[in-house]
Structure 1
Amino acid sequence: MNKDLILREKLALERTILANQSTFLAFLRTSMYFLVAGISINNLTTIKYGVVIETVFITVATILLITGIYNYFKQKKSISKSRKHIGDYKLEYLNE
């Protein structure tokens, strides 16, 4: 068994885990921006439809947060499934 290949695959999985966490934090950050914008737009301006705009921003923030959480756990499950295949090579490739 080529141990360098196995190490490379493990390191690639660790990078994938970190990328998944980074993506979730980006969703969270964007959701918080929309939430803050939605809360503050009604307080800072005297727009006639300020409540409607506030509701739209808060709705978008909620959708982004739910999408980010769903994406995170979906990718986490996929990563954990691929983790158990490290070094699990077919014998037909080794016998060539």
Structure 2
Amino acid sequence: MIDKQINKDLILRERLALQRTILANQSTFLAFLRTSMYFFIAGLSLESLLKIENSFIIEWFLFISSFVIFCVGVFNYFKHKKMILDNEKHIGDYKMQYDEQ
């Protein structure tokens, strides 16, 4: 009886930890997206705010930076999502042990 309770608690803790990790991964992706949008908006508004000669160079730098940050964020999100899904199978091992008893 005690062994079943320990395994059940272990499964619950593992599931909750997995859920927190998934939410953290999503939050990180949204931070990358927000930063990318800031760079993009800065590029759009640079010419109207500042009268700088050759401002298009700075604008293009900001646009390219925005695209790179977005791509890194997408790559990071899917890389970590795959790692999370790969580690989810370990929770199943505990569940199988619990069902057998």
TM-score (norm 2): 0.84
1:86 maps to 91
In proportion to residue count, which structure has more helix?
2
Question: What CA distance in whole angstroms lies between the structure 2 residues aligned with 1:15 and 1:62?
Answer: 28
Relative CO higher for 1 or 2, CA cutoff 8 Å, sep ≥ 6?
2
Provide structure 2 residue ranges, at least 5 long, that are not aligned to the other structure.
Answer: 95-101
User: Post-superposition shift, 1:87?
Assistant: 4.6
TM-score (norm 1): 0.88
1:49 aligned onto 2:67: no
User: Post-superposition shift, 1:42?
Assistant: 1.5
Question: What CA distance in whole angstroms lies between the structure 1 residues aligned with 2:18 and 2:62?
Answer: 36
Question: What CA distance in whole angstroms lies between the structure 2 residues aligned with 1:62 and 1:24?
Answer: 14
Provide structure 1 residue ranges, at least 5 long, that are not aligned to the other structure.
Answer: 90-96
- CA RMSD for the aligned pairs? 1.1
Question: What CA distance in whole angstroms lies between the structure 2 residues aligned with 1:41 and 1:50?
Answer: 7
